[in-house]
Amino acid sequence: GVQRVLFRSLIQAVETFFHPSNSGAWTRQLSMLVYFLADFFVMRWNRERSGEMDVPDDRKLDDEVKHRFVLCLRDVVFMGIYSKSGTAMNHSLSALQSLAYLEPDLILPGALQRIYPAMQGLVEVHRTISSIRALQMLAKVMVRSKGYRCHITTLLGLALPGIDANDLEKTM
């Protein structure tokens, strides 16, 4: 209904503020908003499914609402994982994990498109670090999702050259 339209309009209105090159005092607050939206959606989704939360049928979350919710937040979360703010990056990574849990097929292909070039050294170092962290957050969903688990061993293999026992700062 009208709530979905307004929600989509809100996210579209602030989308440019999530771009990694556009950081400022708003960055942490916006990333926190997206983090809490995703976190509370997952919490409600799980409570409704388990029967722990009794919601009238006309107000229950369904697959279409879940699908639209993930699509609405997907782009801002993918931008946020490359934020220059560590806090904003962490919020975005947590939101990414929540969205992948809800709709793996909407999140994992885009995540892999970003993670592979980063692991192959084709992008800036900070993007590689963010991509490794994204892989860490998505690994559980990936191994549980048919068609994606095969990427785990390849991506871990790409991470091996970056491990240096003599330089723990670089390795971490």
pLDDT tens digits along 133-154: 999 999 999 999 999 999 999 9
Q: What is the pLDDT of residues 83-117, one digit of tens each?
A: 988 899 999 999 999 999 999 999 999 999 999 99
Residues 40-57, mean pLDDT to the nearest whole number: 95
Are 88 and 66 spatial neighbours (Cβ–Cβ below 8 Å)? no
Q: What is the pTM of this model?
A: 0.90
Return the amino acid letter for 33: L
pLDDT of residue 109: 97
Q: Quick one: pLDDT at residue 125?
A: 78
Query: Are the CB atoms for 76 and 20 separated by under 8 Å?
Result: no
